[in-house]
Structure 1
Amino acid sequence: MASGARGKGRPRLIEAAEIDRAIRDAALQLLLEQGEATTMHAVALAAGISRKSLYARYPNKTQLALAVIGELLQGAGALEYDRSGDAEDRLRHYIEAGLEAIAKPQSKALQRLLTLDPDYIAALRSDMLDATRRIFFEPLRMLLSDAQAGGELAIEEVDATARVIIRLIFATSFTDEHDGKSWMTSPEPENYAGFLARLVARGLLAR
């Protein structure tokens, strides 16, 4: 009887995991598309389950959104970029990849969603910091450390330099409150990436 009970229980565990995965996938898609307009009813429909089943797992939309966004942040990997060329080339490639990452529709939708409800930022602060460090900071710190070790750049504070560069990359996503336009005068990311790479690399050339 014991083995029979386990046999019956296993499919239920698998089914529960599949239902939760369907809920989170549906919620993520809807949250990125509709933002705060997303409803629990819409999530249930998209996941193919009843609202009762949804509420049994997530008591409200805030808890569901926190679970979904937290999972998204925790699963994000390090920024991939072209590592060929000299220090300035590598830095430009990194910046271009960073600009591309934050300009993706999914990234912009996530930024809008996080700014709509201060509770999201407060609850997800740790995940956000960890994700930023993993995605942007660690790859850049390695790039700068390698350039320093190879005698290409003279950097007194690698971590501080990396933080400044990342702030300048993220600054491109800031928009004017009145017209919604980016503060950047150039619409071409590669122009900004080239400018920023030259500014940093030539200011840190080994002497």
Structure 2
Amino acid sequence: MDEPTHSAGGDAGAAPPADARSRGRPRLREAAAIDAAIRAAALDMLLEHGEAATLNAVAQAAGLSRKSVYARFSNKADLFISVIRDDLLQDKQPVEYSTTGTAEDRLASYVEAAFLLVNAPKARAIQRLLAVNPNYIAALKVQMHKATRRHFFEPLIALLEEARRTGALAIVDVEATATVIITLIFAETVHRSHEDAFFPPRRTLTEQARFITELMLRGLRPRAE
């Protein structure tokens, strides 16, 4: 019986050897794992070193070659913008605060919770990066606006609208009032970041939240006829 014959090109339907596959592009699962490692390392570098971080440092922290990182991100600005946009801003949930007690208690709880969030390490890292390189602001403007609206404005507006509806607070313009409150919160954060250098030590976050709340409420309490 004749032996089966094979064409010179081999079986067109056969899978390539394993070593041949390993020399080509990484599979989807491998590529996803590489991307996740790069993003996790970039976030760590961003929190620890800010603008001083380099793509080489990210590659080393991720346990990858520089080629793997540079194949995906040509510079650190592209990488950091991607991490901030997709990993930090997208997962922002509304400020969580106590909904018990009076309207004043709820507002004070909201202000304190907002203080804690904008002073958290991740938020601080973003603030430092934006301060150092204004190009980040331009690249992230839309996402930052949406995240701020969803994270800070919407829960505060709901709080203020309820207080106005029940007559607990005399609020004429809910949107404008929310804007002023959030502006004070962010301004206070900037103030505290320079406190050691330019200002004497002051109140704790809880104490300052109560102070700002009381300051605002003096103009919001209903007045006797």
- 1:29 has 2:29 as partner: no
Cα 1:84–1:25 shift into 2, 3 Å: same
Flag the structure with larger Rg.
Answer: 2
Is the 1:172–1:182 Cα contact (8 Å) retained in structure 2?
no
Matches of 1:185 and 1:26 in 2, distance apart?
A: 35
1:57 match: secondary structure: coil
Matches of 1:64 and 1:81 in 2, distance apart?
A: 33
Is the 2:157–2:175 Cα contact (8 Å) retained in structure 1?
yes
TM normalised by structure 1 equals: 0.88
- Amino acid in the other structure paired with 1:49: L
Matches of 2:113 and 2:195 in 1, distance apart?
A: 27
Residue aligning to 2:9: none
1:164 match: secondary structure: helix
Q: What's the offset of the Cα at 1:171?
A: 0.9
Is the 2:168–2:222 Cα contact (8 Å) retained in structure 1?
yes
Higher helix share: 1
What residue ranges of structure 2 are gaps of 5+ in the alignment? 1-11
Is the 2:195–2:201 Cα contact (8 Å) retained in structure 1?
no
- 1:78 has 2:79 as partner: no
Name segments (4+ residues, structure 1) moved above 6 Å.
176-179
Matches of 2:132 and 2:65 in 1, distance apart?
A: 27
Is the 1:91–1:143 Cα contact (8 Å) retained in structure 2?
yes
Is the 2:73–2:79 Cα contact (8 Å) retained in structure 1?
yes
Percent identity between the two aligned chains: 50
Cα 1:179–1:97 shift into 2, 3 Å: closer
Matches of 2:50 and 2:144 in 1, distance apart?
A: 18
Aligned residue among 28, 33, 37 for 1:18: 33
Q: What's the offset of the Cα at 1:177?
A: 10
Matches of 2:125 and 2:60 in 1, distance apart?
A: 22
Cα 1:153–1:175 shift into 2, 3 Å: closer
Q: What's the offset of the Cα at 1:120?
A: 0.7
- 1:99 has 2:115 as partner: yes
CA RMSD of aligned residues (A): 2.5
- 1:42 has 2:57 as partner: yes
